[in-house]
Structure 1
Amino acid sequence: MKPVTVAFVFCALVVLLAPVPASAEQGTPTRPVVRLVGEAGFLGVIDHRIRFSGDDPTFRYDKDGGQDVLFPFARLSAELSWQNRHTIVFLYQPLELETRAPLPSDFTVDGVDFDGDTLVSRYSFPFYRLSYLYRFIETERWVLDGGGSLQIRNATIEFRAEGTKDPGDPGPRGFYRSAGVGPVPLLKLRARHSLPRGFYVETEIDGIYAPISYLNGSDNETVGALLDASLRAGYHVTDSIEAFINVRYLGGGASNTNPTDYSVNWLNTFTVSLGSAVRLGK
């Protein structure tokens, strides 16, 4: 089952099956509280460019790679809070962009030549994120949490040629693959403002900007950045169930112009999604 389908099913089950408490108890929770969140919608690419060699031209996925359409989007997370002060969040975010487009003329990736009439591109960048939040402010209307996250990226980038330009051609040629797994430390901020009649607005931001040479004093000119920033409008359906609409910017990448390990990869996207959350425990 695809992740976006799982998220839709999760949201429906949250609304239909979650228990409705007979009455709301006021005061600080005395037991840990579990919160499950799911959302699903669509993702659009604002700008996406990549380059694996100083001799290669910059490839624009959004212009020449078929990423000028909307893609399914989903994410799932589970939270554990205790003492009304500490929260741990585990999040899974699939990100799979596979497209087909006409093969650009003289297309080359890191010394690999491509020949054919169709370019199949796969950009797979799912990630897992573990976060800790500490509640700094809590009033009748405002809640402010801050902390950090550790994200594990699981990246696969592939290009493959298909088809032939002329009946007499020997066939398509050209395949390139780059893959890797790595940790990404992030700073995290979450704020919520409660509105009358059970409505609320919330923002959540995970991000980092890392010029490596400035951080460790080396001559490594790699620059990396990631920003996951969302704005959410929600409604408390019951004391334990929330429904919301969410808009998000999700982007980042890295640049390393060292000739021995050249790589430039920057992705900027937006998402629009519907979701729900259920709280277990008081």
Structure 2
Amino acid sequence: MAGSAHAAEDAPRVELRAVGELGFLDVLAHSLRQGSDGTIFRFPEDGGQDNLYTFVRLSAELSLHGRHTLVFLVQPLDLQTQVVLRRDVTIDELTFPEGTNLDVRYAFPFYRASYLYDLLGGAERELSVGASLQLRNATFVFTSADGTLRRTSRDVGPVPLLKVRVRWPLGPNWWVGLEADGSYAPAAIINGDSDSATTGALLDASLRGGVRITDQVDVFLNLRYLGGGARGTSDDNDDEFGDGFTSNWLSTATVSLGVQYRLPALD
């Protein structure tokens, strides 16, 4: 305990960090079913999501006394494809016939605020636990190329998550780390919606290795799994079409290069 207290004293009183990642995203599996009589639409096979996509992630962190950290994260995710359907596909009681030239948009960007408490309190070693609140902003669009057939779905809502983060030095400049945010719960608990019988889950987990270039700059290679979804029926269905049933599950993997910049600490 004395060592931990000494490490906390060595940590800066206030430190601000900016983190950015750039890489590619691969869709491992992705399915969507809208309406209880709808088709299970598998995006890699039916919707053209079999390419690699640009992955960008930005975050800002405020660390206080080497123990408390506030994080704000912005994660864009907007996948747009064009395909020719190989079979009939029904989305919310509308059938897109085989051979339809189809434009597909799956957008699921999110914003996340987190709080972490470091159990070690050191400047270089970290074992933090905490919680996050994520705001999803989902948009699904299926449109025939001639514009005569279209189905859309939009959803905005909060998602509470548990969070853990670890960073461990391997030498004077090298380090490894892991980070995970996750939850599994009925939507009635997540959203406070007693009319929803939907169950949702999310896991955002990464493993990274980095090197300190200067006192202010680290670079790292990051491997990430990002996935989740929901299944069930909402009685509070404001859409003009469909019966409120949805089943949406997404699994992705990303590889990215990241940069972390520390502003000069306020001691």
Shift of 1:244: 0.4
Structure 2 residue aligned with 1:6: none
Percentage of matched positions with identical amino acids: 49
Structure 1 residue aligned with 2:72: 90
Question: What TM-score do the two structures reach when normalised by structure 2?
Answer: 0.86
**1:62 aligned to 34, 40, 44, which one?**
44
Structure 2 residue aligned with 1:79: 61
Structure 1 residue aligned with 2:3: none
Gaps of 5+ in 2: 1-7, 236-242
SS in 2 for 1:63: helix
Structure 1 residue aligned with 2:227: 251
Alignment of 1:1-282 (within 5 A): 28-115=10-97, 117-138=100-121, 142-162=125-145, 173-212=148-187, 221-257=197-233, 260-282=243-265
CA deviation vs aligned residue, 1:7-62 (integer Å, no higher than 9, x gap): xxxxxxxxxxxxxxxxxxx9624531100000100000000000011111200001
SS in 2 for 1:137: coil
**Partner Cα distance (1:93, 1:258) in 2:** 26
Q: Which moved more, 1:104-113 or 1:198-207?
A: 104-113
**Partner Cα distance (2:12, 2:189) in 1:** 45
**Partner Cα distance (1:88, 1:258) in 2:** 34
**Partner Cα distance (2:94, 2:120) in 1:** 55
**Partner Cα distance (1:122, 1:173) in 2:** 16
Shift of 1:179: 0.6
Distance of aligned partners of 1:141 and 1:275 in 2 relative to their CA distance in 1, 3 Å threshold = closer
Shift of 1:252: 0.4
Gaps of 5+ in 1: 1-25, 164-171
**Partner Cα distance (1:266, 1:155) in 2:** 13
Does structure 2 retain, via aligned residues, the 8 Å contact 1:103–1:161?
Answer: no
**Partner Cα distance (1:162, 1:174) in 2:** 8
Amino acid at match of 2:207: L
Shift of 1:107: 1.9
**Partner Cα distance (1:278, 1:266) in 2:** 34
Shift of 1:63: 1.1
Amino acid at match of 1:278: Y
**Partner Cα distance (2:27, 2:212) in 1:** 31
**Partner Cα distance (2:76, 2:34) in 1:** 24
Shift of 1:117: 3.0
CA deviation vs aligned residue, 1:252-276 (integer Å, no higher than 9, x gap): 0000046842110000000000011
**Partner Cα distance (1:230, 1:74) in 2:** 14
Q: How many residues align?
A: 248
CA deviation vs aligned residue, 1:175-229 (integer Å, no higher than 9, x gap): 011012111000010001100141100001000011357999x795421000000
Shift of 1:137: 2.1
Amino acid at match of 2:66: N
CA deviation vs aligned residue, 1:73-122 (integer Å, no higher than 9, x gap): 00000000111110000000000100111123322211112256311100
Does structure 2 retain, via aligned residues, the 8 Å contact 1:34–1:79?
Answer: yes
**Partner Cα distance (1:31, 1:129) in 2:** 24
SS in 1 for 2:10: coil
Distance of aligned partners of 1:212 and 1:123 in 2 relative to their CA distance in 1, 3 Å threshold = closer
Question: What TM-score do the two structures reach when normalised by structure 1?
Answer: 0.82
SS in 2 for 1:54: coil
Distance of aligned partners of 1:249 and 1:124 in 2 relative to their CA distance in 1, 3 Å threshold = same
Does structure 2 retain, via aligned residues, the 8 Å contact 1:32–1:281?
Answer: no
SS in 1 for 2:120: strand
CA-based RMSD of the aligned residues comes to 2.2
